[in-house]
Amino acid sequence: MNMNPYLDAAPEVADAISSGKPVVALESTIISHGMPYPQNVETALNVERIVRENGAVPATVAVIGGRLKAGLTQDQIEYLGKQGQKVAKASRRDLPVLVARGADGATTVATTMIIAAMAGIRVFATGGVGGVHRGAEVTMDISADLEELAQTGVMVVCAGAKSILDLGLTLEYLETKGVPVIGYGTDELPAFYTRKSGFGVDYRLDTPREVADAFRAKLQMGLKGGMLVTNPIPEEYSMDPDVINRAIDEAVSEANAQGIHGKKITPFLLARIAQITGGDSLASNIRLVYNNAALAAQIAGEL
C-alpha cells in the first residue's frame, strides 16, 4: 500500500484494506468532545464491537502525537476519552499545525473523511453531520463537513444533520455542491434525535446493497465528492420532537446570549441539551451511533 508519510494505519486496518476486506472509519470528536467520560470510551468501544459483529473492521480515526491514525488501540481511545476537551477539535484547517507540532487532535467528520480517504477507506459511520448553522445568512457559519462531502470520496452514514442546525439551508448547500443525500428506508431527512424533519431527501434506498451500488457507480464515474446516507434513529429511542426542539431553542438562545460560536458551539449545545432533557438526548445519541455503525458495516460489506 502506498501510504501517506504522515499516516499510520493500525496493522489490522492495513491488512483489511490490502486484502479487500470491508473497513468502516469512525470519528474521535464524539469521544473527546461529544460525550462525558466514561460514557465516551464505553460508546467508542461498543461502536467498534458493533462494526465487527456486522462483518467489517473498525478504524477509529484521530491525530496522536502529530501522526494521522486510521485505527486506534483501546489505550489510545481511553486516552482521548480521559483528556476530553483538552484535545484539540481538529477540522481540515487544523491538520497542518497539529501535525507539525506533534500534537493530538480529535477528528471531526471532515478530518475523519480526509484521513479515511488517505488510507483507502470508503465508508464512515458517525452520529450527525455538521451543516449550515441557524443565522448563517448573517454569520456565514457553515460546517467544513459540507465542503468535505463535496470534494472527498467517502460515504458518510449518519442520523441526519443535528437539529441544532438550519436543516433547509443544509440541504440547499449539499444540493449546490452535488452531494447526493440518501434516506435509508425513508423519504424524509431524519433530524438526529428524531426520525422526521419535514424535509425530503434526494433518494430513498432500502437495502445496504442499493446504497453500495449507487456509491460504486459514483466512484467509477469519477464524480468528485462523497455521499450522505441518512439513517433514522430507531423508533424506540426517538425523542418527542416538541421536547427536543424546545431544548434546542433554549440552548441556542443561551449560546447567542453568551456569544458562543465557531468550533465551540456544537459541544456547548449538545451538553446543554443533555442537561435540559435530563440525559435523554445523550441516551438517544448513543443509540443512533450504534445504529449507524451497524448499517455502515453492512454497506461496506456490499461495497
The b/e string for 42-76 (b: 16+ C-beta within 10 A; e otherwise) is: ebbbebbebbeebebbbbbbbbbebebbbbbeeeb
Can you read off the three cell numbers belonging to residue 207? 437495502
* Strands 105-107 and 57-64, bridge-based pairing: antiparallel
Q: How far apart are CA 234 and CA 217, in angstroms?
A: 29
Q: How far apart are CA 89 and CA 287, in angstroms?
A: 23
**Annotated catalytic, 27?**
yes
Residue of 69, 89, 148, 162 marked catalytic:
162
CB 193 within 8 A of CB 239: yes
Q: How far is CA 141 from the centre of its chain?
A: 18
Q: Cis before residue 38, ω within 30 degrees of 0? A: yes
**Annotated catalytic, 78?**
no
Q: How far apart are CA 52 and CA 58, in angstroms?
A: 7
Q: How far apart are CA 294 and CA 303, in angstroms?
A: 14
Give the residue among 285, 213, 210 at the shortest CA–CA distance from 247.
285
Residue of 27, 48, 78, 148 marked catalytic:
27
Q: How far apart are CA 56 and CA 112, in angstroms?
A: 17
Active site residues: 27, 162
